Amino acid sequence: MEDKQLQKEDAGTAIVVDHVCKSYKLYDKPMDRLKEALKLTRKQKYHEAHALSDVSFAVRQGECVGIIGTNGSGKSTILKIITGVLNPTSGSVTVDGRISALLELGAGFNMEYSGIENIYLNGTMNGFSNEEIAARMQDILDFADIGDYVHQPVKTYSSGMFVRLAFSVAINIEPEILIVDEALSVGDVFFQAKCYHKFEEFKQMGKTIIIVSHDLSSIAKYCDRVILLNQGVKLGEGSPKKMIDDYKRVLVGQYELPGQYELPGQHELPVSKSEKSLLNDAEVQEAVHRQAAVQKRARQQADRAGAQGSETLEYGTREAVIEEIYLADDRGTETNTLLKGLTFHIYMKVKFYQALPAPIFAFSIKNAKGTEITGTNTMFEKAFLEPVNAGVTKEICFTQKMSLQGGEYLISFGVTGYEGDNFKVYHRLYDALDVTVVSDKNTVGYYDMDSTIVVKEI
């Protein structure tokens, strides 16, 4: 009902997905399928697998929307339903505009045909006459840039050549809606840059774009909004930053924890059984207030940085807890304003409530749009690979030169580790500190190469 109301109110809606479900019948034996098809048995011989369960969302015209989720979450299935490749089991999809879709490698191409023949085939499938396709042919060939291979059967193409041609066809038939499903992951870096430049052009032209990708940096950079799916269920939709953070929680099985930690006076900050076994009542209260103070400071800093939302995202098993975080400049003074080109320090203090085999301490830095710029951890740096006993507190200091361009950034912290082959998150604080970098010289991109330049006459 909510999406239908949105469709009525927003005349600029390009796609409405209304309570879509997609189920498949799975049979244990081929004979069971045959018996049911011939109605030779009344007993149900199949069990249902739900690829999508009651998924609803709308995409406005001119919007670039990303769809993210783990493998098997239903991302490709919903795209195939939108493009008409699959029919939903229930629910409906309404599309207003000409769609051009680049789905999995090989979709819509005849492997025996040459590249030229496939261009005409795809153009015809999208409603163009041979004359209209011929008028666009040179633009398609220039963008694909695969040379004389365009006259060879596409079954002889490398994956990179294939995706160049497929993407070139998709964007040069003047679609109103462009749908791309992971296809760019096989292209080289130069081709990917050219494709994303084309995305920018499309956005400026008011085209609608839907991207499915595991490249979270690209999702954060190019998408206006992101939809998060998991096991066929829509977990949420919103800003790229918020949804990417939620996706990371899904990956480590911690999605149910956000909102658990509240400031005293709202709800009591929970303390795990492992903590209570180590602390008396007074120490429990002290731990509660100490962590509440840390989170309050983190929230204030995130608010000053203009972070979306008023709460720092926090989750983990709490076998180890980050109790204190702060920045210091090259003189050791605590500050959130740093000068580009000088050394600075990132501090975190961690209390251990369980003995852990080899905890990993980490930080990462994002820009205001949520794109991760850089980061490291003690495993990468081979700085700490030791077990830690319960009841111990560790202070960790990362020291480095500030090479980021002038601007506003957010720092996230984590304590993680491996127990056997299992990766565990003990405690994470996303966007917990803001930092302002002051610079009198900004170069191109995210960070300064700090080049030494010599110009001489020869």
What CATH number has the domain bearing residue 272? 2.70.50.60
The verdict on 284 and 387 lying in the same domain is yes
Distance in angstroms (rounded) separating the CA atoms of residues 348 and 249 = 21
pTM: 0.70
The verdict on 80 and 164 lying in the same domain is yes
Query: Which pLDDT score is estimated for 2?
Result: 46
Domain end position, chosen among 221, 250, 279: 250
Query: Which pLDDT score is estimated for 30?
Result: 78
Query: Which pLDDT score is estimated for 100?
Result: 83
User: Domain for residue 425, yes or no?
Assistant: yes
Whether 364 and 428 have beta carbons less than 8 Å apart is answered as no
pLDDT beyond 70 at 147: yes
309 pLDDT band, cuts 50/70/90, is very low
Domain end position, chosen among 250, 275, 310: 250
Structure tokens at 439: 């610079």
What are the residues whose beta carbons fall under 8 Å from the beta carbon of 158, sequence distance 6 or more?
none
Structure tokens at 421: 């082959």
User: Domain for residue 160, yes or no?
Assistant: yes
pLDDT digits (tens, 9 = 90+) for 59-97: 999 899 999 998 889 998 999 999 888 999 999 999 998
User: Domain for residue 20, yes or no?
Assistant: no
- Compute the mean pLDDT over every residue in the chain, rounded to the nearest whole number: 81
User: Domain for residue 70, yes or no?
Assistant: yes
Beta bridge partners of 304: none
The verdict on 349 and 231 lying in the same domain is no
Domain total for the chain? 2
**CATH code, domain with 147:** 3.40.50.300
User: Domain for residue 164, yes or no?
Assistant: yes
The verdict on 338 and 243 lying in the same domain is no
Whether 429 and 414 have beta carbons less than 8 Å apart is answered as yes
The verdict on 303 and 407 lying in the same domain is yes
Query: Which pLDDT score is estimated for 244?
Result: 86
104 pLDDT band, cuts 50/70/90, is low
The verdict on 424 and 293 lying in the same domain is yes
User: Domain for residue 110, yes or no?
Assistant: yes
The verdict on 371 and 305 lying in the same domain is yes
Query: Which pLDDT score is estimated for 194?
Result: 79
Domain that holds residue 128: 61-250
Query: Which pLDDT score is estimated for 342?
Result: 93
Distances in Å between the Cα of 223 and the Cα atoms of 8, 238, 244, 310, 438 are: 24, 10, 11, 22, 28
The verdict on 226 and 266 lying in the same domain is no
Q: What letter does residue 43 receive in the DSSP assignment?
A: S
Q: What letter does residue 219 receive in the DSSP assignment?
A: H
The verdict on 201 and 315 lying in the same domain is no
The verdict on 394 and 335 lying in the same domain is yes
Domain end position, chosen among 209, 227, 250: 250
pLDDT digits (tens, 9 = 90+) for 316-357: 999 999 999 999 999 999 999 899 999 999 999 999 999 999
User: Domain for residue 237, yes or no?
Assistant: yes
Arithmetic mean of pLDDT, 166-195: 78
pLDDT digits (tens, 9 = 90+) for 384-429: 889 999 999 999 999 999 999 998 899 999 999 998 888 999 999 9
User: Domain for residue 335, yes or no?
Assistant: yes
The verdict on 80 and 215 lying in the same domain is yes
364 pLDDT band, cuts 50/70/90, is very high
Quick one: angle between helices 130-144 and 115-125, nearest 10?
Answer: 130
pLDDT beyond 70 at 274: no
Cβ neighbourhood burial of 308 (10 Å; 0-12, 13-18, 19+): middle
256 pLDDT band, cuts 50/70/90, is low
Arithmetic mean of pLDDT, 21-46: 77
The verdict on 190 and 327 lying in the same domain is no
Query: Which pLDDT score is estimated for 26?
Result: 79
